[in-house]
Structure 1
Amino acid sequence: MSVEHAPPEVQLAVDLIYLLECNEIAPEIALAALEIVKHDYQAKLAKQAQSAKEY
C-alpha cells in the first residue's frame, strides 16, 4: 500500500518521521516533544467534548 492511499494518520506519521529525521532530531528529544503534542491535543479534544455537551 502506498502512502497516498494510507489513512490520514499514517500519512501524517510518515511526514513527521521524515521531518524529524531530516532535521537529525535525537530520538529522546523527538519523543519528549511528541509527548507534549499528545497532551496538547488530548486537552483540545476534551475541550471540544465539553463544548459539545454545553450545546
Structure 2
Amino acid sequence: MSNSLNQAPEHIKLAVDLIMILEQHDIAPEDILKALEIVKDDFEKKLAAN
C-alpha cells in the first residue's frame, strides 16, 4: 500500500481492498453491483438498529 493510502481514512482503504478482491474474481460488474446493494442494505439495517 502506498504511503498516501496508508494515511487515508478507513473507508477509503476498505474500498480499495474490496475493489482489488472483486477484480481478482472475474465476476461480471452487474453481479458485483447487485451483491453490493444487498450488502449496503444489510449494513444500513444494522446501523439503524443501533
TM-score by length of 2: 0.89
In 1: Cα distance, 2:29 partner to 2:44 partner = 22
Q: Which runs of 4+ in 1 moved over 3 A?
A: none
% identical equivalent positions? 54
**Superposition CA RMSD, Å:** 1.1
Tell me which amino acid in the other structure corresponds to 2:41: H
Q: Any unmatched runs of 5+ in structure 1?
A: 49-55
1:2-48 per-position Cα deviation (integer Å, ceiling 9, x unaligned) = 21111000000000000000111211011000000000000001110
Determine helix, strand or coil for the equivalent of 2:27: coil
Structure 2: any 5+ residue segments left out of the alignment?
A: none
State which structure, 1 or 2, has the greater radius of gyration over its C-alpha atoms. Answer: 1
Q: Distance in 2 between matches of 1:37 and 1:46?
A: 14
